[in-house]
């Protein structure tokens, strides 16, 4: 049976949506990253990068949400794009744009905006600027069709959905007013039973919420070097 290493944050959410949409059976293994469980040896044996999500399927061991989505699409024959048709090429580009643009830049925007110590104006401006630019590109793409790959619901949409749920936290509470096509897309996906199941999944577990010393040390271990002087 598939084992899904999960935390209720954007990258695992993409995978949770796939698992629910595809109706796959899976066992959830919660990884409480604010308690440092991502650094435990048993988890590092599955994901040496110490981040969620990860997934095992028999002997197959996967980490990185985009790799997992591509694997599951191949395994099930659902929600993927395998060929070299122009639409498949375009979908692949957008999938990687989410993996290498939306995720890392929005993640850093959140880090500097909400968690980094002062002075941070330069970093906040850089990452927020890029995150806003990236989300505008997604919004424009979604003005051209129902989904990221035209009229086909795919892993690109699941990838966008995982991160877009955090748009107000990333860009600000009024962000939906500036991204109407993304808002339309989110309303549509949020209405799907699979999205409701992902929301229910988060409620099955009690993950640490406090951003206290343990959480900061677990999520931002680089700060130990600053403290050491």
Residues found near ligand GSH in the complex (CB under 6 A): 7, 9-11, 33, 38, 50-53, 64-66, 103, 219
β 2-6/26-30 pair status: parallel
* Contact in structure between 186 and 146 (CB atoms under 8 Å): no
Residue 38 C-beta: closest distance to ligand GSH, Å? 5
Q: Is 63 helix (H, G, I), strand (E, B) or coil?
A: strand
| Neighbour-count burial of 142, counting CB atoms closer than 10 A to its CB (0-12 exposed, 13-18 middle, 19+ buried) | buried
Q: Which is nearer to ligand GSH, 11 or 154 (CB)?
A: 11
Residue 4 C-beta: closest distance to ligand GSH, Å? 12
Q: Which is nearer to ligand GSH, 15 or 128 (CB)?
A: 15
Residue 48 C-beta: closest distance to ligand GSH, Å? 12
Residue labelled with tokens 């981040």: 51
β 26-30/60-63 pair status: unpaired
Measured distance CA(12)–CA(5) in Å, rounded? 8
Q: Which is nearer to ligand GSH, 6 or 185 (CB)?
A: 6
Q: Which is nearer to ligand GSH, 63 or 185 (CB)?
A: 63
Residue 177 C-beta: closest distance to ligand GSH, Å? 25
């Amino acid at each position: 049976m598939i084992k899904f290493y999960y935390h209720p944050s954007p990258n695992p959410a993409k995978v949770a949506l796939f698992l629910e949409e595809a109706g796959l059976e899976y066992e959830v293994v919660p990884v409480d990253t604010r308690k440092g469980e991502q650094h435990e040896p048993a988890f590092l044996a599955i994901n040496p990068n110490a981040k969620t999500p990860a997934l095992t399927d028999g002997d197959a061991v996967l980490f990185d949400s985009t790799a997992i989505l591509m694997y599951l699409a191949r395994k099930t024959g659902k929600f993927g794009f395998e060929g070299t048709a122009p639409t498949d090429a375009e979908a692949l580009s957008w999938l990687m744009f989410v993996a290498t643009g939306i995720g890392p830049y929005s993640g850093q925007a959140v880090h500097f905006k909400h968690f980094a110590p002062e002075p941070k104006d330069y970093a906040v401006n850089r990452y927020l600027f890029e995150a806003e630019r990236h989300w505008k590109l997604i919004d424009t793409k979604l003005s051209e069709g129902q989904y990221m790959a035209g009229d086909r619901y795919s892993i690109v949409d699941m990838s966008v959905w995982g991160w877009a749920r955090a748009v107000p936290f990333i860009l600000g509470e009024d962000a939906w007013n500036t991204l109407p096509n993304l808002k339309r897309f989110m309303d549509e996906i949020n209405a799907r039973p699979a999205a409701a199941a992902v929301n229910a999944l988060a409620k099955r577990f009690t993950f640490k919420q406090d951003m206290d010393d343990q959480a900061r040390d677990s999520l931002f271990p680089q700060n130990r070097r600053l403290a050491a002087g």
